[in-house]
Structure 1
């Protein structure tokens, strides 16, 4: 039996509908250090990041940290700020907390790129479950599948100047 969440949604946002967001790169593609939005190193990964990973400084995600974003394409240096279109989002549940990750690229995503992103987050959820078990941090871990970027942004809260970092340790 196939899991519906293993396959990307057939429809994707077109250029007129794909929102443009500002992303700050926290983990360059190929990097082993997983940094959080505050710049602190969360952990050292046994595998390099397959994407440039960062956050959208204008929004807080569902778990109270900056809204996550990954940027497909060539490696970008740590700290790079760019405006780019978000073509979709993946929802990841980590320790029972849902969190959307915008999937950004200079061009619309191909079906193969969407499948690659989903495969990665299904694998990542399993790895986080093992890490959380080792850290004795309970809660469900899973990749919940695709949603539109507009939906993910609508679920986020606008950034406020009072925010001092994520409310939970990752």
Structure 2
């Protein structure tokens, strides 16, 4: 499994280098060269921003509960409803799921990935959120919390960002095939508290995602 995951991450990195030759070799120089943003990020919810600001000041990242929907190494991409959205030609290099307590900007549960060993489907885990990656999917902003039991290294952060640049390209092609218009792109890295501030608390009125994914 370890060899397979390294192969997948190398495949993602090579694809990213092909798409962005000017940024090749930036691992040794850190993330500054590839951590750009496209469109302006939505305004944060001031209530949630102040809720997490003290944790940021203490360098203590927020802790969230993540429900695993796609175990590391799985080919099946499931949504928050449990239904299979698509079958990937490559296994997912991270554990992927959602934060049941929060709704993202597109109206579905806030997405999250968990670094580390494979976690079974349906696992619920409380884990620290060290940052987030913002995607645009069909013109809608979609934050992805990056969670782990340790602070991700610069290389781990870069591989996460490279994966989502590659993923955005693939999702864009899938959306074209499904006749779903709108821009698809990876907008870059942001702080976890920014993503949580843009999200809203889930309540009893939520009946599932407003759009099919």
1-structure distance, mates of 2:123, 2:58:
23
1-structure distance, mates of 2:207, 2:177:
28
Structure 1 partner of 2:75:
32
Tell me how large the CA RMSD over aligned residues is.
1.8
Give the TM-score of the pair, scaled to structure 1: 0.93
2-structure distance, mates of 1:128, 1:35:
14
Structure 1 position 167, deviation (Å): 0.4
Structure 2 partner of 1:60:
103
- Find out whether 1:163 has 2:206 as its counterpart: yes
Structure 1 partner of 2:120:
77
Deviations 1:45-93 (A, max 9, x none): 1111000000000000000000000000000000000100000000000
Task: Point out the structure with the larger strand share.
Answer: 1
Structure 1 partner of 2:193:
150
1-structure distance, mates of 2:197, 2:108:
15
Q: 1:1-170 alignment to 2 at 5 Å?
A: 6-7=34-35, 16-170=59-213
1-structure distance, mates of 2:65, 2:122:
12
1-structure distance, mates of 2:171, 2:58:
33
Q: Please say which structure displays the higher CA radius of gyration.
A: 2
**Structure 2 stretches lacking a partner, 5+ long:** 1-21, 24-31, 37-55
8 A contact 1:33–1:43 mirrored in 2: yes
8 A contact 1:14–1:108 mirrored in 2: no
2-structure distance, mates of 1:88, 1:63:
19
2-structure distance, mates of 1:5, 1:77:
35
**Structure 1 stretches lacking a partner, 5+ long:** none
2-structure distance, mates of 1:49, 1:15:
33
Q: How many residues align?
A: 166
Task: Point out the structure with the larger helix share.
Answer: 2
Structure 1 partner of 2:26:
none
